[in-house]
Each structure stands twice: as structure tokens, then as C-alpha cells.
Amino acid sequence: MEIVDGGELKGYASLHPKTAESLKADIGSIVLFEDPESGFWGAAEIRKSPDVPQNKMVVDSLVLEASLLMEGDRVDVTLYERPMTALDYVEFGLKPLTEDANTEDLVTRAAESVSSLEKLIGGRLVYPGMSFNWPDLGVKVEILNTRPALTGRSFAKLAFEALRAKTGYQFKTVGISTPFNAILCIDTSGSMKTGDVPVKDVAHAREGLKDLAGDNPDVQAFLDRFEEGTNVTRAEAAAMAVLLYLAEKVGRGYGEKVAVITFERDVSEMTFMDPDTGDVRPYVECTGKNKAIGLQVISTHVIDKVEEGGTLTNMGDALMKAGEILDAFGDPRKPTMLIMLTDGMTTTGPPPLKVLKERFSGHRKLVMYCIGLGERNEIDEELMLAMAEYGNGTYRHVDNMRDLLEWYGRLASEFAVVIRGRE
């Protein structure tokens, strides 16, 4: 059957009644359509229309966009009869379509207007990459993530009532990634020397970092430790993640200022001397002519700290130090990302959540992400979740190199303020 782009059809696909009959489909049935050559596929709820030729299928533009299919593609069409997945959580991405919609408080306005979204897309078919236009707000709404994840050819229908009863939903802006400053806090306590992180699928990251490291033998030797199929220590994994983050920021130009804090019982920050002015700063500049030097300095610092290791875990003082560095950035209007990575629980120093609330309450453009590395039962996940929630970010547990690097790589390029919706 040949695909026709139908424009805005509210997510539906139209078939000739005879075609629908041959598929044993009726209004409201869901059909799967797939290009057998490319394997690209999509799905839509159907409507019947005698105006549609029997050899064609008229599909909503945004459904086609999600599936990478386009007008003129030839597809096999089948009836989908498996049960829908019930969703606990949906992450909505908001992309402004009008200049009026492109405001800093967009996510807040979206959360306040959720009833209008519910009327618009409640009951609609959902799969990852799917999107809808939300005219009241002048935005396109994209389905970014769901829980449970919709993998393979599984679909769900959006039921806001059910979502509110479960984990809920959240909004964030997408489409324009803002340059932002970052502070990375890395746990270097003794337990981080546990060698239980499997190395898998790191070839691209390792080769890219090797290339960037140039002739620096320390960095090259460090990267050689990451051999596929072996295990590395949590500290080594964390150090490589930091290098990757920096490489993205410096090498890929997601730029601005990056600071690195390591903590165990004591807290220390990386310092960098500007070769032009001689000024010493607690962060590296990721743009301009000295950025490559910054990458070299910060790499060496992180690797040295990993080798040292420490005893206790002092997350609270690490956050105090992060507050000082935030001030040193000197631009309170610039968005800042704070990433806290640990494998354990805070064992000394002030309570981290209290520090966070006291020290960062005035920073509206701060987003905090927490990462738990290693064994789950060794990590204070409740604290991590609470800090991430307070900081408008997320908490994620990882136990292998691939996921850790993927997450750091993504964070390096993406800054989003999140507003959650839940009753």
C-alpha cells in the first residue's frame, strides 16, 4: 500500500472501507505499517473514508515523522491486536512553534495547562518519537521517555488519570540546547577502588579521547586500561566519564565553564591558570584559544585524584565548595548543571540536602543530576532522589561503563529544566 501524507489528522490513518474490511479492521482499530525494504514502521488508529483509494493509506504527518516514513513509501499493513501497555510515567518534550511560546516559563505554563493537553491527546496512541501539536500553547509535544519503556512494537494509550495515580509525567523543553556551565562532583573515597564496573561498548569514547589527549602519555596510559570485556574500578570509570564530559564540552563545543570537585574526607577542586593573565581559577574555559590546555590540565588532575583515593565520603562539603565555584563563575544568569557521582552514603560533613537547600535556593537556573555507581544497596538512593528532585534534575543508577558514558555524554549536551506533574 502507498502512503499519502494527510497533514494534521489527530494521529489517525485513513483507509478505504474495503481495505479496512480486508484487514478485519474497524474504526478505532490499530494498524501497523512497515516498509519491507527499510524496516521503518509506524502505527496509527484508523478511520474509514471512501475518498481514500484502495491501494493507499492516508497518514497523519506527525505519525509519519515519528516513523521516518514519508509520502510515496510502500508499506505492508497489518492489524495490531495485542493489548496496550499501561504507562506509569511519561516525559513530554516541548518544542515551541511560535515566537510567543518561546518563553523561559514554558514548562511552568505547560504544567499549569495540562488539562488542555489531556483533552487534546488523552486516549491517543503513543510510542517513542511520537509527537502532537498543542495549539493552545503553540508547541509541539514529543514523547521522550516512558515507564515502562515502550520497546519494539509495543504501544500505549495516554491515560492522564492513570499517570497521576502512578509516577506521573514531566515536561521539559527540547530542540534548543543552551550552552551552560557545569560542576562535576566525583566521589574518590576508598570504596570507589572496587573493581566491579564491566567495560563494554566503549570503543568510540576511548578512541575519541585518545585522539584528543594527543601526546599526553599519562592520559593515553590511563585510557589503555579500558579493555573490552574486563572490569575497571568505579573510580576509573568515573574518571573516564569526566574526561568524556569534558571532551564533549571542550571538543564538541557545548562549551562554557566546567569545574571538577573530588571528595572523600577532604574536598578539593581543580585549579587552572590562565596562560595569558596568570590568574588561577577553579574552572576551565571551554571556548577560545586556551581550551585545549584546559582539557589537558583537568584530565591529569582527575586521573591523579583517582589514584590517590581516600577514606570517608563528604558530600556536604563538596556541595559547599560547588556553591563557592558557582559564585566564581560570575554569571548568575547562566544555566548551571551540577552532577554528583557517588557509590555510597555520606559519612562525614554536613547533611548534603540541607546544604543544597541553603546554598542554592536562589539559583533558578541550576539543575542537579545525581548518579549512583556500583551496588545499589551501598548507595543512599533516597538521598540521591531527594537532591535530584530539589535540583529539578534526575537520579540514575548505573553499573557499567556503557551506561555511565552514555549518560555523561548526554548530560554534556543537554540542559533542561524539568517540571513534574503528579497528584
Partner 1 sequence: MLVVRSVEDQPAHGLKKGDLLRFYIVDAHHHMGREGSHQNTPAGAYSYYSLLWFELRRMAKERLEKDELLYEPVDIEPPHTASKCFNIRNSWAEMNRGWLVDRTIVFPFSDDYAKSDNKLVASFKLSNDRIARWTTRSPHSTRLIGFARVDPTDARTIGADCAVRELHRAVTLLGLRGLKLHPLAQLFLDDIEDDITRRVVKKAGELHVPIVFDTRNIRTVRRIKNLIDGMRSDKSCANSITGTRIVLAHSAMTPGDTFLHDTLMDPVFCTETSGLHGQDLPVLMKAAQERDTPPGNQWSSRILFGTDYSYFSLHAADTILHLLSRDFIGGPSDIQRILGENALLLAQKVFVTRGPSRRRPRQVAFRDDRNQGLDGFENLLFSLVRDEHWDVSSLDLIIPSQRVLTSSNVSLMTKTIGVDTDSYVLTLRSRSEGEEVHVWVRRRSDRLLTFAVTSGYNTRGIGGSELGLPESESLLLKALDEHTIYADSSDALSQEVLETLGTQ
Q: Which of 106/355 has CB closer to partner 1?
A: 106
Min dist CB 161 to partner 1, Å, is: 29
State which of residues 17, 168, 179, 350 lies at the interface with partner 1 (CB under 8 A): 179
Min dist CB 212 to partner 1, Å, is: 6
| Residue 217 lies near partner 1 (rule: CB under 8 A) | no
Q: How far apart (Å, rounded) are the C-alpha atoms in residues 402 and 404?
A: 6
Whether the link from the prior residue into 148 is cis, omega within 30° of 0, is yes
| Residue 7 lies near partner 1 (rule: CB under 8 A) | yes
Burial of residue 10 (CB within 10 Å: 0-12, 13-18, 19+) is: middle
Q: How far apart (Å, rounded) are the C-alpha atoms in residues 65 and 62?
A: 5
| Residue 154 lies near partner 1 (rule: CB under 8 A) | no
| Residue 253 lies near partner 1 (rule: CB under 8 A) | yes
Q: Which of 173/233 has CB closer to partner 1?
A: 173
Terminal Cα distance for the chain, rounded? 45
Q: Give residue 165's region: left, alpha or beta (phi > 0; psi -120 to 50).
A: alpha
State which of residues 28, 39, 83, 152 lies at the interface with partner 1 (CB under 8 A): 39
Residues 6+ apart with CB under 8 A from 28: 45, 46
State which of residues 74, 153, 200, 252 lies at the interface with partner 1 (CB under 8 A): 252
CB 89 within 8 A of CB 146: yes
Q: Which of 51/161 has CB closer to partner 1?
A: 51
CB 255 within 8 A of CB 246: no
State which of residues 255, 310, 335, 349 lies at the interface with partner 1 (CB under 8 A): 255
Measured CA to CA in angstroms, residue 224 lies from 207, 238, 399 at distances of 10, 15, 20
CB 266 within 8 A of CB 186: no
| Residue 297 lies near partner 1 (rule: CB under 8 A) | no
Q: Which of 211/218 has CB closer to partner 1?
A: 211
| Residue 410 lies near partner 1 (rule: CB under 8 A) | yes
State which of residues 1, 6, 258, 263 lies at the interface with partner 1 (CB under 8 A): 6
State which of residues 106, 199, 250, 261 lies at the interface with partner 1 (CB under 8 A): 250
Q: Which of 61/348 has CB closer to partner 1?
A: 61
Which listed range, 14-22, 97-105, 275-283, 299-307, lies at the site for partner 1 (CB under 8 A)?
97-105
Which listed range, 81-89, 208-216, 271-279, 322-330, lies at the site for partner 1 (CB under 8 A)?
208-216
State which of residues 91, 187, 256, 317 lies at the interface with partner 1 (CB under 8 A): 256
| Residue 214 lies near partner 1 (rule: CB under 8 A) | yes
Q: Which of 181/342 has CB closer to partner 1?
A: 181
Q: How far apart (Å, rounded) are the C-alpha atoms in residues 346 and 326?
A: 22
# chain residues binding partner 1, by CB under 8 A: 50
Which listed range, 13-21, 113-121, 170-178, 185-193, lies at the site for partner 1 (CB under 8 A)?
170-178
| Residue 294 lies near partner 1 (rule: CB under 8 A) | no
**Sign, CA torsion 237/239/241/244:** negative
| Residue 8 lies near partner 1 (rule: CB under 8 A) | yes
| Residue 307 lies near partner 1 (rule: CB under 8 A) | no
Binding site for partner 1 (CB under 8 A): 5-8, 37-40, 61, 65, 68, 70-73, 95-99, 102, 129, 140, 175-179, 203-204, 207-208, 211-212, 214, 250-256, 285, 287-289, 292, 406, 410, 413
